[in-house]
Amino acid sequence: MKLKRTFLVILTLLITFQVCFGQEFVEDENWIGEIAGGQSPFLQHSLKNYTKEDVFKAKQKLKLIRESSINDEWEGSYSLLGELSDTKLILDSEIGFINYYIYTCAIDLRALNYGSLINKPDSITLVSEKSQPPFYRTGKTGQKLIKVKWGDRHYLVEEERLEVFSELAAGYYGIGKNEKIEVNGETFETQIAIWNSFWVKTDDLKDKTVANLPQLPYPYEKLTKLPIETKIISLGKYEKDKPTEEPVMTYSRRYVTIGAGKNSGIKPEMEFYVPDLEERIKIVKVSDKTAIGVLERWLDSETREESCFKVGEDFPCKLLKVGMKVKTVPDEFLED
């Protein structure tokens, strides 16, 4: 009897092996079905970062997720925003997750991961089922993502990056933040764009916005950062670029001093919004109690007059004055 049972176990394993590896692999089929913009029906595979077996298993998991109903507001599809890429994290509490990165110039699936997940009230932990995880984002197993509501949007933030997220939400940085990152085993310093580093629910991007400060769950609420508010206390030098015959933009620069500095957490490259102007100044020098910023404006190539504008709209430039309030705000990217 024991011998027969052993034989049945071996036979079952052989059949499972054949089912798994006997599936036809089509190199250019579009099995993900979420190619950016639907520009191409084909999907190429970079099999150096995953195997054909991984593709098969990920297909099966994705199919099950799509056929299941969403029972939790934190389930569904999440995106990393970035140019020339379609990067998704798709979650289902019972079935698990699939994570992929497509380089959209070539419609090339460059990274693939899948596995189970642990869904708790304040976090989601990803447990990879790949023997060799990919190099991109959710590569390590047991990765913990903290659930953060910000206005009407849902964000999933890596636990170790939660403080950076809070600083960015309070406007402590401008267009990006210098950070050391590791790619394919090599470490280097780069400026990361601020909001393409965090998972945001894909559907929220259509019509939902951020407001006030992110809601960090207990016990992470102590990492919440408040915007820095102060005012302009003096005006400094004013300068203009020299005219040029080349078709390049020229600018004016007005230097100002604000009434807060290192003691308030201000650092060079931070940006402050001036509500009365609807413009921003960038910090270039910091002392203990004050900081120097610069207001830069585009100069019309013909009139040499300052021109003020924001996305889709030009408006008359206003006069910068002492006493105007300034404050840190999130990057303009979030306003789009």
pLDDT in tens, 223-262: 999 999 999 999 999 999 888 777 678 899 999 999 999 9
**What is the dihedral sign for C-alpha 197, 198, 199, 205?**
negative
Give the whole-angstrom CA distance, residue 18 versus residue 134.
25
Which residues, other chains included, contact 106 with Cβ-Cβ below 8 Å and sequence gap of 6+? 44
Paired tokens of 93: 């509490």
**What is the dihedral sign for C-alpha 273, 334, 331, 309?**
negative
Paired tokens of 14: 């052989």
Tens-place pLDDT, residues 97-125: 999 988 877 788 888 999 999 999 999 99
Alpha-helical regions (H) of the chain: 2-21, 52-67, 162-169, 204-207
Give the whole-angstrom CA distance, residue 237 versus residue 244.
22
Query: The tokens 């005006």 sit on which residue?
Result: 235
| Exposure letters 159-180 (e unless 16+ CB within 10 A, then b) | eeebbbbbbbbbbbbbebbeee
The Cα-based distances of 329 to 155, 169, 214 in angstroms read 18, 7, 13
The greatest distance separating any two alpha carbons of the chain, rounded to the nearest whole angstrom, comes to 97
**Phi, psi dihedrals of residue 57, rounded to the nearest 5°:** -65, -40
Tens-place pLDDT, residues 86-98: 889 999 999 999 9
Which pLDDT band holds residue 18 (cuts at 50, 70, 90)? very low
Which pLDDT band holds residue 29 (cuts at 50, 70, 90)? low
**pLDDT over 90 at 196, yes or no:** no
Give the whole-angstrom CA distance, residue 287 versus residue 112.
47
Give the whole-angstrom CA distance, residue 188 versus residue 295.
32
Give the whole-angstrom CA distance, residue 325 versus residue 281.
12
Give the whole-angstrom CA distance, residue 121 versus residue 301.
56
Whether the Cβ atoms of residue 159 and residue 120 lie closer than 8 Å to each other: no
Beta strands in 120-222 (DSSP E): 123-128, 143-150, 153-158, 176-183, 186-193, 199-201
pTM as predicted? 0.77
Which pLDDT band holds residue 303 (cuts at 50, 70, 90)? confident
Domain ranges of the chain: 24-223, 229-335
pLDDT top residue among 156 and 101: 156
- Alpha-carbon Rg for the chain in angstroms: 25
Which residues, other chains included, contact 323 with Cβ-Cβ below 8 Å and sequence gap of 6+? 231, 232
pLDDT of residue 136: 56
Whether the Cβ atoms of residue 317 and residue 308 lie closer than 8 Å to each other: yes
